[in-house]
Amino acid sequence: MLPYIVKRVLGMIPSLIIISFITFFVIQLPPGDFVTSVQSQVASSGGGMDATTVEALRVRYGLDQPQVVQYWRWIKGFPTGDFGYSLEWSAPVWDVIATRMGWTLLLSGLALVFMWVVSIPIGVYSATHQYSIGDNIFSFLGFLGLSIPDFLLSLIWLVVGTLVLGIPAYGLFSPEMADAPWSLAKFLDLLKHLWAPVIIMGIIGTAELIRIMRGSLLDVLNQQYVTTARAKGLHEKKVIKKYAVRMAINPLISVLGMQIPKMISSSIIVGLVLSIPTVGPIFLRSLISQDMYLAGVILLFMAVMLLVSNLLADLVLAWIDPRIRYE
């Protein structure tokens, strides 16, 4: 197992380098740079900047250097935790995003848990009761879940929560709690605000996982070894649990790597609509204001998250499936 892990982790390094290249390239794409965007802002508010100020700003931010140099300056600090400087916020990138990353990870993690906890039992039920009324209802709900975009769900929740249920449906804390020190009351307040965005973020994934679980279990139930297990005299429940479900779960794990990016995308939109401090809103802002290091780090962070979750999925698969482990 250990050599396998080492191999996989080392194998990530080239990918990381390529990803950082591409990220830098994409972030550089917009015509002009941060200074131009500051310039146009100043201009739109009636002011003007003379050429020397502009140049001075460029030099100060290192924007006058060749791209390769800029890339190297940016990337070389990463191993020491220096992710560059946010031009717009006038603060190290890390300070700007640290807590937001935390919330993003927390929300995504909870959404992931929600997805699994809900989808596995439903998937198992649907597969073992194929074409029953319950199965049909779940299938239909699944299609619905797949089809309602997260922004629409957030908007609906905002309207329904606020206008119909009369609870504040946005933010992470009630206004009076936002600045209070941590306490049980504040924690409960957080939970009250957290569950809806978590479900909204998890719903599409849940619908997908239910379908995958159902299909996979139906496949497995047709496998010879399930019949073998029955022919031994095992109880049906045990056959399902120990043989069928255990094998059917593999595809669920392998799509984990595909769920994470969706979760990230969702956290951007849900964060924006429901005013939750995920990295989403500042990512959008940094893209528009061309705050390139900030945008770059966030994009890179999302790609790394995807890479790591793929790795984790593979490791879990290897751990539960001997065929992969011993390859």
Partner 1 sequence: MQDFKGTAQRITDLYNQQDLSDESIAQQMLQSEQTAEATSQWRLMWRKFKRNRTAVIGGVVVLLFYLTALFGDFVAPYSLEDRMTQYSYLPPQKIRFIADGRFQPHVYGLKSGRDPLTLQRTYVPDPEHKIPIRFFVEGSPYKLMGLFPTNRHLFGVEEGIVSILGTDGQGRDMFSRIIKGSQISLTVGLVGVALSLLIGAVLGVASGYYGGWVDNLVQRGIEIVRSFPPIPLWMALTAALPQHWPPLLTYFVITVILSLIGWTWLARQLRGKVLAIREEDFIMAARLAGASDRWIIFRHLIPATFSHIVVISTLSMPSMILAESSLSFLGLGIRPPLTSWGVLLKQAQNTQVLLLYPWLMIPGFFVAISILAFNFMGDGLRDAADPYTV
Partner 2 sequence: MKNEEKNYLLTIKDLVVHFHTLEGIVRALEGVSLHLEQGKTLGLVGESGCGKSVTAHSILRLLPPKLCKIKGGEILFRQRDSAEPIDLAKVDPQSDLIRSIRGHEIAMIFQEPMTSLAPIYTVGDQIMEAIMLHRQVSPEQARESAMEMLKAVALAENVVDEYPYRLSGGQRQRAMTAMALSCNPSLLIADEPTTALDVTIQAQILELLMSLQKEFNMAILMITHNLGVIAEMADEVAVMYLGRVVESGAIEQVLGNPLHPYTIGLLKSLPKMGDQTNRRLAPIPGSVPDPLAKVEGCPFHLRCPVYKQKGCDGKELPSVVEPEPGHLVRCVLYY
Q: What's the gap between Cα 47 and its chain centre?
A: 40
Give the separation between CA 93 and CA 283, rounded to whole angstroms: 12
Q: Binds 133, which of partner 2, partner 1, none (CB < 5 to 8 A, cut-off by type)?
A: none
**Torsion sign, CA atoms 74, 75, 76, 81:** positive
Q: Binds 230, which of partner 2, partner 1, none (CB < 5 to 8 A, cut-off by type)?
A: partner 2
Q: Is 320 in the site for partner 2 (CB under 8 A)?
A: yes
Give the separation between CA 42 and CA 111, rounded to whole angstroms: 42
Residue choice 57, 260, 276, 313 for contact with partner 1 (CB under 8 A): 260
Q: Is 136 in the site for partner 2 (CB under 8 A)?
A: no
Q: Is 253 in the site for partner 2 (CB under 8 A)?
A: no
Q: Decide: 172 and 267 in contact? Cβ < 8 Å.
A: no
DSSP conformation class of 83: -
Residue choice 47, 51, 184, 323 for contact with partner 2 (CB under 8 A): 323
Q: Is 302 in the site for partner 1 (CB under 8 A)?
A: yes
Q: Is 7 in the site for partner 2 (CB under 8 A)?
A: no
SS3 91: strand
Q: Decide: 200 and 193 in contact? Cβ < 8 Å.
A: no
**Shortest separation between residue 323's beta carbon and partner 2, angstroms:** 5
SS (H, E, C) 112-153: HHHHHHHHHHHHHHHHHCCCCHHHHHHHHHHHHHHHCCHHHH
Judged by the rule CB under 8 A, the positions of this chain that interact with partner 2 are 223-225, 227-236, 243, 246-247, 320-323, 326
Judged by the rule CB under 8 A, the positions of this chain that interact with partner 1 are 15, 18-19, 22, 26-27, 29-31, 140, 143-144, 146-149, 151-152, 155-156, 158-159, 162-163, 170, 260-262, 264-265, 268-269, 272-273, 275, 283-284, 287-288, 295, 298-299, 302-303, 305-307
